[in-house]
Amino acid sequence: MEGTMCSCRQLLLEVYDKMNCDDFRILTFLAKDRVNRKRRKENENILDFFDLLERKAIIKCGPEEIDLWFLKQAFLLIGRNDLVSTLVRVGRGSCKQPEEGLFVNIRRKLLYQVGEETGQEELQNLKAYLSSKVGVGKRTLDLIQDVWDCLDVLEERLSDSEMFPLLKTVYAGDKNLSGLLDDFIKGIAIVGATGGQTDKAPVQEVGEHVQAQTHALGTQVEDRTGSEEATFDPTPSGGSTMTADGALSGFSATTLPSRLGAYDKGKNAGICIIFNNEIFANTNTHPTRNGTNKDRDLLEYSFKLFGFDVRVYNNTTCQEISYILGEIQQIDHKDNGALVVCTLSHGNLNVVSGACGQDLLINSMTSLFRADNCPSLAGKPKFFIFQACQGKDTQDVWHQTNAPVMAESDTNLFPNSPMAEVMTEVPHLHQLNLAPAEADFLIAHSTMPGYVSFRNDKGSFFVQSLVKHLKAHSPREDVISILVEVNRDVSQTIGQTSGGQIAAQIPEPKVRLTKKFYLFPVETEV
């Protein structure tokens, strides 16, 4: 145990060496609910602050127990994945549920989001409101150096019922942030799902029946099948056939359209990671995901067909997912054509759930493979597939096309559930493609932000449809065109809640590719 404790202390020293002043300032802000303002001002040294967190049992680094969950979550939130990777080296794989209070709650995360969205113009507006609306004097205003100081003063002077409406007024021009603030003001525990409803019953998938996972405050919901059968048929549709070695007959790479150019398929297809979470630590908040193993097996079969080195991980915690992806990041991908990461789990807006029951930022997964973080994958397609809910609302339909089917969902949001507080920021689509390091990503979500994604005991309609169309149309069509086919397929499947409400689902691909991306069946048996 002494060796483990020393290792823990050493890692905290490594983290200290890598942190900058901004990281420290934000960390103290995120810990504010547990450490009062006066004590934070007195502890300007990062190591002293770590000691203070340990004395208050916010983190533990002793011989009997090591618990760095708070720091890991905070560093994930601020995008310091390198610090998370450092901390993961201690206690990796534990699925123990940490104390709820040790996590950054939804209120603190929302204020952090406000801080992150604040530029110089917004900061001046905030200070003007502090002067005119809150009555803060010039001496105090002169001491405000950044937005975090501003938020400190607001929290000291105003109640939440006063502060959040004021913030909404200041940020009225920011549609995403204004929606977040409005939801919080309304008491909706879905950060980012603007106007989301709170007590939706589970949707049932078309033509498929499962025993509903009920909960005292509502059940979960997931995907649907399309008008075509969603289960995987090894024979491609449209008359295409497979040759004995697994290659599609009648297609050739030399005949592909090239107006935009195509990514090089590489000496090797690449690595495909599949995270398949079926069973969770707390089945009350995260019911068992029946049917997910069908999705896992089809994805594994399909990407092996396309020549990928497929690695499957079942029931992985957030720590394990971060560690595994960190290991993949360190691999030399120079001979690989692409990277594929499939995550099948419960989820919410911008997060997926680990088997431990906690949430992991999707951005923390994808950003590991930015061009500046993983140079050997620069200029190569990174294909992320997420079969998970992005909220708990159900999509409405304007007409009914098919008979509705029973299903359950992969959302983890139950009103008043502790898990409902593990939330993250809203996506900013206008920021995509702004930096070259962010290029060459294709992120395929099974549903739109704010909404549930459906699944039943035969698997999810999104994954089933995706596998079917990839196999039927590659390499005649590029992956983006195939995802549009999947959108059409899934959108034609109509779900129905136990109360008879009709609901629909449409997937959402996020495209940052700069060329056409094709998948090629290999010429060897799988």
Catalytic residues: 346, 389
Alpha carbon distance 502, 223 (integer Å):
13
CA-CA distances (angstroms) from residue 217 to 213, 285, 326? 11, 11, 37
Q: What's the CA gap between 266 and 286, in Å, rounded?
A: 40
H-type helices in 67-146, by residue range? 69-77, 81-88, 106-116, 120-129, 138-143
CA dist list (Å): 490 to 123, 207, 343, 392, 486: 44, 13, 19, 18, 6
User: How many Cα atoms sit within 13 Å of 35 on the Cβ side?
Assistant: 25
Q: Are 218 and 199 in contact (CB under 8 A)?
A: yes
Residue with tokens 């390499």: 475
- What is the DSSP-derived secondary structure letter of residue 361? E
Q: Determine the 3-state secondary structure of 151 from DSSP.
A: helix
- Note whether 274 and 300 are within 8 A (CB): yes
CA distance 212 to 202: 7
Tokens coding 340: 């594929």
d(CA 453, CA 195): 18
Using CA atoms, how far residue 140 sits from 11, 40, 328, in Å, is 38, 18, 49
